[in-house]
Structure 1
Amino acid sequence: MSAAVSLAPDAGPPWLRPLLDNVDGVRDAYRRRASPQILAAISAASDEAKQSGARRDAAVLVLFSGPASEPGDGGLATEARLLVTVRASTLRHHAGQAAFPGGASDPGDDGPVGTALREAWEETGIDTARVRPLATLHRMFIPPSGFHVVPVLAYAPDPGPVAVIDEAETALVSHVPVRAFTNPENRLMVYRSANTRASAGPAFLLNEMLVWGFTGQVISAMLDVAGWAKPWDDSKVVELHDAMAMVPTDNGGPKQL
């Protein structure tokens, strides 16, 4: 893998400007959509990790791709896409969950940008020389894995081919159209059965995956701060297992994005 790790916010296309100009607001938008119950649990788990010395640094690559210049619909390029993976069902943490490519930092990484690029290459085989790191979001804590994660916002006009590299870690790799996330019909709120409906967070029911949890929260927050979100029914609250059962299968036919 060969790639520069310095940030170049001006390398983003005009249609990404609304997000880049408001990137510092993503964490607040994330917290606005999270329930007080979830925020309290995250805060307590983060404090415990710091006190025990169990804190682990990590980074994920939030990679947008699409034309370098196109007005699109409401300022968003119609061909804009976002790189998303689905984790293998056999993993210890977050099994079967949709996620941005990423993982734990290694000593040889050049900060979170280096971690995000290395992990994305290892998981998807993406040519990181095509990727332009633009900005980093505020570090966020993810229980139960204990990771303090830095999302790295990046852009690739043409990201090239991607694929599942290790089936033990990843089940699916896809450049998902951003319009699939802005489509109100694909949006819902999801909660774990161990919690209450009041703890539900934003989720997206797409052709091949349910995007929820940390990844769903980050995508929802980015749509909000960039002004890309369209009015949607956040009273549609579904328990996680029921929501997963709604993901279309090969036999059930595709859900329209």
Structure 2
Amino acid sequence: MTAPIPEWLKGLQERVAESRSADFSRWPLPEHGGREAAVLVLFGESEEHGPDVLLLQRAATMRNHAGQPAFPGGAADPGDGGPQQTALREANEEVGLDPASVTVLSELPPIWISVSDFVVTPVLAWWHSPHPVYAVQPAEVERVARLPLTELTDPANRLRIRHSSGYIGPAFSVGGLLVWGFTAGILTVLLDLGGWSRPWDTSRVENLPVG
């Protein structure tokens, strides 16, 4: 299903069409291998907070990415017809998202995550008919949140995080969530492409909390 795209989202949609994998990651795609996966980057809008993006927080008991905020998504299944179907299926399974409430705008360039050897395609979408979402599987998803763009772009909520490996990357401290890693990297680029970013103190570096 398609629906009219709001004016505030059109600029991002146009610029994403011209983006490349290198705009989102310093790691080139592997010539061979890499398990296919997709995530749903779902922008919505509420009367109370204006434009927002949907994130979930992984359960603290998960073996991988425990407690980490992320976009809905996961590995491709053999029956999926491509990244869009993977992202929508995973969002339905994780947070109860109705695929009919979503207008897919485009697929971002695939990104290789070297640590897990996944090649992830972010799927950009507009939530034209928002509805309540929730943690369908509490053992996997601890929390679901719609983070307002006004809070993500607030300089007071932006920082860089130093991982124990030495990696330093962008992060957001919003709504009780510390968003870092792959998800924060995608958000950072999209905020820039959308023309929403505001100057912030990139010298603010904090260590990633343990546990």
| TM superposition score normalised by structure 1 | 0.76
Aligned residue for 2:10? Answer: 17
Q: Give yes or no for the alignment of 1:61 onto 2:40.
A: yes
Give the strand-richer structure, 1 or 2: 2
Whose Rg is larger? 1
Structure 1, unpaired ranges of 5+: 32-38, 71-76, 245-257
Aligned residue for 2:54? Answer: 83
Contact 2:155–2:201, Cα closer than 8 Å, also in 1: yes
Aligned residue for 2:82? Answer: 111
Flag the 1:88–1:143 CA change in 2: closer, same or farther, 3 A: farther
Give the Å deviation of 1:132. 0.6
SS of the residue 2:42 aligns to: strand
Contact 1:93–1:145, Cα closer than 8 Å, also in 2: no
Contact 1:26–1:222, Cα closer than 8 Å, also in 2: no
Aligned residue for 2:209? Answer: 241
SS of the residue 2:40 aligns to: strand
Counterpart AA for 2:64: H
Q: Give yes or no for the alignment of 1:30 onto 2:30.
A: no
SS of the residue 1:106 aligns to: coil
Aligned residue for 1:178? Answer: 149
1:217 corresponds, among 185, 197, 200, to: 185
Give the helix-richer structure, 1 or 2: 1
CA–CA separation in structure 1 for the residues paired with 2:171 and 2:142: 19
CA–CA separation in structure 1 for the residues paired with 2:113 and 2:183: 10
Contact 2:54–2:71, Cα closer than 8 Å, also in 1: yes
Give the Å deviation of 1:66. 1.6
Give the Å deviation of 1:201. 0.9
Counterpart AA for 1:16: L
Structure 2, unpaired ranges of 5+: none
Give the Å deviation of 1:116. 0.3
Give the Å deviation of 1:158. 2.9
1:159 corresponds, among 130, 133, 140, to: 130
Aligned residues between the structures: 210
Counterpart AA for 2:44: S
Runs of 4+ residues over 6 Å off in structure 1: none
